[in-house]
Structure 1
Amino acid sequence: MREFARFLFGRRARRRWVHLILGGALAMPYVFVGEVIVGPLLDSRYGFDSLPLQLPSFLVGLPLAAITALFPLTRPMSAAAVRALCGVDGDRLADGPARTWPARRRTAAWFVLHLGFGGVISGMSLALPPFAAVLIVLPLVSWLRDTRLGLPEVLDHTWVVALSPVVGVASLIALAACAAGSGRLLARRAPELLGPTPEDRLAEAERRAADLAVRNRLARELHDSVGHALSAVTLQASAARRVLDSDPDFVREALAAIEDTTRRTVGELDAVLGVLREGDDRSTAPAPTLADLDALLRRTRAGGLCVTAALDLDPAELPALLSREAYRIVQEALSNALKHGGAEGPVTLCLARDDAALGITVENPASPNPRSRPGGGHGLRGMTDRARLLGGTVEAGLADGVWRLAARLPLKEGCP
């Protein structure tokens, strides 16, 4: 009994009842238009408030509602009402406008269903409660029987008057049952008629893929720029601390390198965060390219790492995108040498180009006790992603105690 009462009068049933009343309110303009169309076709003795005119006007108005529901914005408005009032999980409903004809037809079917049931329940909600109230108090108020109030003649019988409260209560329960049943029916049909189409799911998947690509790009930029800077500063500070008393000149050089590294990193960080500033007209620092390689090598050497570089190219002749990505790959390779190789051996950097591609090779002795940190291991993946976006490759591995990284970036799209 408690479950039945909750089904008829519970919070969800009441909210769905409100949803049906909204459907009835939306149906009224279409009913008025239907009256204008149907009125001249019927006998003139029917007025606009007569039931013989209202029913055909309602039936004529529903097809008109279906036509107007073909507009794309009908679906998001209907879905919002269903989420708020019908207790349907929002993930089962489409968010955007209906842009394909199958989706529009499904939305039109939902709109007609909503307005149809809403109109009927609204009419019952207006008529039955006053009638039921009169029936309930009829045995107690004798003057109601004398005024008639349009009551049927069967109420002249005493036994009928005695049973009228039961009929009144039953009418209210029947109204609640009709409203609850209609609301449940609409809630069950909403995901089918207002749910996302395959095109909607594909568009959502593409949007999420685009968001993920932006997040991955930001993660790579932050990892390569800020991660390299922190590694370099840590090693520079550690080297300066060890020779603080014995080699003041080196300490001054290390502190200058730390200052230069942090200043440069702040500019790079501003450039990375500029991706997030949509609509922000403020200029950001440009991303570094191979033209900035000398400064990168100088900061790396200030950390105590011996780096030998061989450049068989002119950075100014390289495409800007290729130069930026190549700089990040070199930066991450040197950062890995700092973190995992330390100052135990020299690092050899070689950049050369041919007619088809730019080659990057970084070699350093592997540390017998490589340092690792929780959550690490993203650097090699980031370099691989950068090369793949340009159609290139990255290979890395340990051989004969030497860690070697080789990247090949095509100068033109489609080159091997």
Structure 2
Amino acid sequence: MPAPSSPLRSLVRPLVRAVTYTRWLHLVIGAIVPLAGGLIHPGLSAPSIGDWLTVAALPVPLVAAVALLPSARRAEGLQARLMLFPGKHARVRAGADGGAAVGAPADTGISTAPSASWTDRGRTALWLVFRMEAGLAAWLLSIWLLQVGLVLSGVSVEEPVVGSLTPHAGPAALAPLPLLALLALVVAGGRLDTRIARRLLGPSVRERMTALEERTERLLERNRIARELHDSLGHALTLAVVQAGAARAAKDPGFTDRALAAIEETGRAALEDLERVLLLLRETGRRPAGASPGLDEAARLLDAARSSGAPVAAEITGPVEDLPGPVSREAYRMLQEALTNALRHAGPVPVDVRVTADRSRLRLLVANPVPGDRPPAVPGSGSGLRGIRERAALLGGEAEAGVRDGEWRVAVVLPLR
């Protein structure tokens, strides 16, 4: 457990961080606009407090009008990310499509998207006005504190920053106090600037909803890829383990050759599925070499299950080849997982497969007896049945699994419309 820092270290630490001074620079840059306007009117020759109030108020309509430009919010967001936060994200670059900047961590809380609503424009206007007024105040206080320090040190000041607030001489021992106050102002002003920036330049409700939708889509895509890997590789490995065990138990050279051939074929199919999924993960922009298999290729699954020594009786009726693409692909994966589940937990027992398609729905039933003396089960993650239910739910269908009349049954109903 790290030792607590001393109060002195806590006070000194902000003064040795570069971001403290970039924040201060970001704050006082806002004074450029009112100072430039003040040179024109009312002038900055021995200005009074009233003159400074005029200097602060005159540019407000112009600054508010600039905030109406959608790009103003983006420019302020990029500048705030660059100067108010430490780290590598200072190297902000725009996306190729002109969208939000990339390369910055999400915890900055600063949006770089252009204004998309009047609420965004209003928040940008408040931010620009705050930055201008706070920057002018910070600049005036900084100059005044420096002048006070010089006067206390014995240096005369010919033109005070505010005529009615002329620094007066005092004990020289007090000279460091204005400098310490200036350092405290630098730290506090930068922190206030950062906090207000998060409030006024933070993501809008629409941007938060968009980000949430994108994150949800990414999670769903990852979940779908995980199911693809589980179903494809789990099926291949289960068949390989069952076939290898059966070949060793049979001690028949002919059966061993057939088992090895089936393992090779199943492995090749699994490698094709793995390559397709890896292409999606790499996001190379290339299209996969082959499309995901559909239910019209169910014969491959049935033959692979039979080659493991399990008697598989299959009955497929209806226009399976004309099923909608998503239904056909998901049904193939469900059948694959149901067969894998039977082989994994019951061994090479008789399996009954029934696939029925009509104009409105697809029915899938996989049943196998539950032996009293079960063979050793192949270890699995236990997520296969959950994946079947999730696939069915995404297509608006239903899936059930359980023991009925001494059989383990997996029943799926998928609508076709």
Does the TM-score normalized on the shorter chain lie above 0.5? yes
Q: Which amino acid aligns with 2:109?
A: L
**Match of residue 354, structure 1, among 334, 358, 364:** 358
Q: Match for 1:119 among 130, 133, 136?
A: 136
- Quote the residue 1:257 is aligned against: 262
Give CA-to-partner distance per residue, 1:81-109, whole Å, 9 cap, x none.
43339xxx964724442433223322332
Distance 1:31 1:130, change over 3 A: closer
C-alpha separation between the residues in 2 aligned to 1:113 and 1:252? 80
Say if 2:297 is the partner of 1:330: no
Letter in 1 for 2:74: L
Which letter maps to 1:176? L
Give the aligned partner of residue 102 of structure 2.
Answer: none
Q: Deviations over 1:355-409 (max 9, x none)?
A: 3111111110124447667772211111112222222111111012200111111
C-alpha displacement at 1:311, in angstroms? Answer: 1.2
Q: Report the Cα distance in structure 2 between the residues aligned to 1:125 and 1:284, rounded to whole angstroms.
A: 66
The answer as to whether partners of 2:111 and 2:201 remain within 8 angstroms in 1 is no
8 A contact 2:313–2:353 mirrored in 1: yes
Aligned-pair CA distance for 1:4: 8.2
C-alpha displacement of 1:58: 4.3
Aligned to 1:141: none
Residue 121 of structure 2: which of 104, 116, 119 is its match? Answer: 104
Point out the structure with max Rg over C-alpha.
1
Match of 1:266 in 2: 271
How far 1:353 moved relative to its partner?
A: 1.7
* Change in 2 beyond 3 A, CA 1:205/1:358: same
CA separation of 1:389 and 1:295: change in aligned 2, threshold 3 A: same
Cα distance change of structure 1 residues 151 and 4 upon mapping to structure 2, 3 Å threshold: farther
- Deviation digits for residues 216-241 of structure 1, max 9, x if unmatched? 11111111111111111111111122
Q: What SS does the corresponding residue of 1:287 show, helix, strand or coil? A: coil
Asked whether 1:23 is paired with 2:27, we answer yes
In the other structure, the counterpart of 2:101 is none
Which amino acid in structure 2 is aligned with residue 300 of structure 1?
Answer: A
Task: Render the CA deviation track for 1:144-184: whole Å, top value 9, x for unaligned.
Answer: 7xxx66389xxxxxxx86x3524533332333344344344
Task: Give the aligned partner of residue 407 of structure 2.
Answer: 402
**Which residue does the alignment assign to 1:157?**
none
Structure 1 residue aligned with 2:65: 67
Answer yes or no: is the 8 Å Cα contact 1:66–1:112 preserved in 2.
yes
Question: Which amino acid counterpart does residue 286 of structure 2 have in structure 1?
Answer: D
Letter in 2 for 1:106: R
1:351 CA displacement: 0.9
CA distance, structure 1, for counterparts of residue 187 and residue 121 of structure 2: 27
SS at match of 1:376: coil
| Aligned positions of 1:199-348 closer than 5 A | 199-243=206-250, 246-343=251-348, 345-348=349-352
Distance of 1:115 and 1:280 partners within structure 2:
46
**Counterparts of 1:121 and 1:289 in 2: how far apart (Å)?**
68
User: Which AA in structure 2 matches 1:263?
Assistant: R
- Quickly say closer, same or farther: Cα 1:195–1:280, change in 2 above 3 A: closer
Quote the residue 2:182 is aligned against.
175
Conserved? CA contact 2:110–2:201, under 8 Å? yes
Residue type at the aligned position of 2:86 = A
Distance of 1:249 and 1:122 partners within structure 2: 91
Q: Does the aligned pair in 1 maintain the 2:27–2:189 contact within 8 Å?
A: no
The one-letter code matched in structure 1 to 2:57 is L
**What amino acid is aligned across from residue 350 of structure 2 in structure 1?**
P
- Aligned mates of 2:289, 2:127 — CA distance in 1: 50
The one-letter amino acid paired with 1:77 is: L
Which residue identity is paired with 1:352? T
CA contact (8 A) 2:354 2:366 kept: yes
For residues 312 and 11 of structure 2, the distance between their equivalents in structure 1, rounded to whole angstroms, comes to: 77
Q: Is the 8 A contact 2:403 2:409 kept in 1?
A: yes
Q: Secondary structure at the match of 1:72?
A: helix
8 Å Cα contact 1:237/1:254 also seen in 2 = yes
Counterpart of 1:83 in structure 2 is 85
Mark the runs of 5 or more structure 2 residues left unpaired by the alignment.
1-5, 88-104, 161-167
Identity %: 35
The separation in 1 between residues aligned to 2:9 and 2:54, in whole angstroms, is 35
Provide the secondary structure at the position in 2 that maps to 1:391.
Answer: coil
SS in structure 2 at match of 1:203: helix
Name the CA distance, whole Å, in 2 between partners of 1:295 and 1:372.
23
Instruction: Name the structure with the higher helix share.
Output: 1
Letter in 1 for 2:314: A
Query: SS state of the match for residue 326, structure 1?
Result: helix
Q: Secondary structure at the match of 2:354?
A: strand
In structure 1, stretches of 5+ residues that fail to align are 139-143, 153-159
Contact 2:399 2:413 in 1 (8 A): yes
Partner of 1:355, secondary structure, is coil
Q: Provide the rounded CA distance (Å) in 2 between the counterparts of 1:299 and 1:95.
A: 54
Letter in 1 for 2:123: R
In 2, Cα distance between equivalents of 1:275 and 1:165: 72
Supply the distance in 1 between the matched residues of 2:262 and 2:9 (Cα, whole angstroms): 77
| SS of structure 2 residue aligned to 1:398 | strand
